[in-house]
Amino acid sequence: MTRPEVSESEASARGRKVAIVAARFNDFIVASLLKGAQASWEQRGGSAADLQVVRVPGAFELPVVARKLATGGGYDAIVALGCVIRGDTPHFDFVAGECARGLQQVNLDSGVPVIFGVLTVETVDQALERAAVSAMNKGGESMDCAIEMAAVMARL
């Protein structure tokens, strides 16, 4: 007998333990992503005591802290938040690419869902649009994904 599917709208944060790793670089954007993620956590019934927030210098540092949390923290999911804005040098490509690769590696190695909530945008305006708390906040979307993935993993 198979268990019924849990839809995204039914997934609850209640009883789950989630960590957010958030970059300080471009904090004028990341702070809004963090607010959106925390709001989603609360809206889905999550307890403040079960949500850990860890700040790191930048997006490049997200994977190592995500790995530490995934392998030793007893978390059901981890949300990585950051913002990398393209500039005039190839620095964007290295930071964004290695951040994504590193977070995916943690995901696969640990079996703990690590959600990629890192904006990789061309302009500040694009970042502001995606981080707006009143609109399509990608931090909130990332937390929704983390809660749903925690439910999926618990069912498997």
CATH code of 125's domain: 3.40.50.960
Number of domains within the chain: 1
Domain-located, residue 117? yes
Interhelix angle 62-72/91-110, rounded to 10 degrees, is: 10
3-state SS class at 72: helix
* The token pair that represents 86 in the structure block: 């393209």
Domain-located, residue 127? yes
Single out the catalytic residue among 14, 91, 101, 155: 91
Backbone phi, psi, residue 3, to 5°: -80, 150
Domain-located, residue 10? no
- Taking the chain, what is the end-to-end CA distance rounded to the nearest angstrom? 13
Domain-located, residue 148? yes
- Condensed to tens digits (0 to 9), the pLDDT of residues 97-137 reads 999 999 999 999 999 999 999 999 999 999 999 999 887 79
User: Across 9-104, where does the E strand assignment appear?
Assistant: 18-23, 51-56, 77-85
Domain-located, residue 112? yes
Better pLDDT: 4 or 27: 27
Establish how many alpha carbons lie within 13 A of residue 137's alpha carbon, considering only the half-sphere containing its beta carbon.
20
Residue count of the chain, please give it: 156
Helices (H), 6-77: 27-43, 62-72
- Condensed to tens digits (0 to 9), the pLDDT of residues 5-38 reads 655 556 899 999 999 999 999 999 999 999 999 9
Q: Which helix (H) or strand (E) holds 126?
A: helix 124-131
Domain-located, residue 70? yes
Handedness of CA 76, 81, 86, 88 (dihedral sign): negative
How many C-beta atoms surround the C-beta of residue 39 within 10 A? 15
Annotation marks residue 91 as catalytic: yes
pLDDT at 8: 52
Domain-located, residue 9? no
Rounded CA separation 105/129 (Å): 29
Domain span including residue 110:
16-155
Q: What is the mean pLDDT of the chain?
A: 93
Rounded CA separation 92/100 (Å): 12
